[in-house]
Amino acid sequence: MASDYRGKNKLHFGFRYALSGLKVAILTERNIKIHFIAMTIVCIMGFIVGLTNLEWAILCLAIGAVISMEMMNTALERALDYVEPKHQPAVGIAKDISAGAVLVTAIIAMVIACLFFLPKLLA
């Protein structure tokens, strides 16, 4: 169809681009793969210990935050590498701050997981 990115096809293109970005991230980024493996393990453990609906909801938010933050970090790194291919201290600092945001989000997600899993595993 010749109407490319207008009208009712707009939503279709938005989902297509988003899914394409997710696919690229999963296939090319080691850390995204690690997060998806961790997510799988956590979900299996959640079924084993019998998480409540509220615990699942909070855990899903935490998992989504970590994976989303990692994808944003990857997007920023790629954009900065394109805009400034030579090493510049300011670019390195921006990348470090972005990576730090992923670390903080992952630590908070681990704390949440421990709060849910440890009491059930120790009981």
pLDDT tens string 68-93: 999 999 999 999 999 988 888 999 99
Q: Tell me the per-residue pLDDT of 17-35, one tens digit each, with 9 for 90 and over.
A: 999 999 999 999 999 999 9
Please give the Cα distance from 116 to 59 (Å, whole number): 9
Note the pTM of the prediction, 2 decimals: 0.84
Residue 55: is its pLDDT beyond 90?
yes
For residue 48, the Cα-to-chain-centroid distance in whole angstroms is 24
C-alpha 62/C-alpha 11 separation (Å) is 27
* Mean pLDDT value of segment 92-115: 97
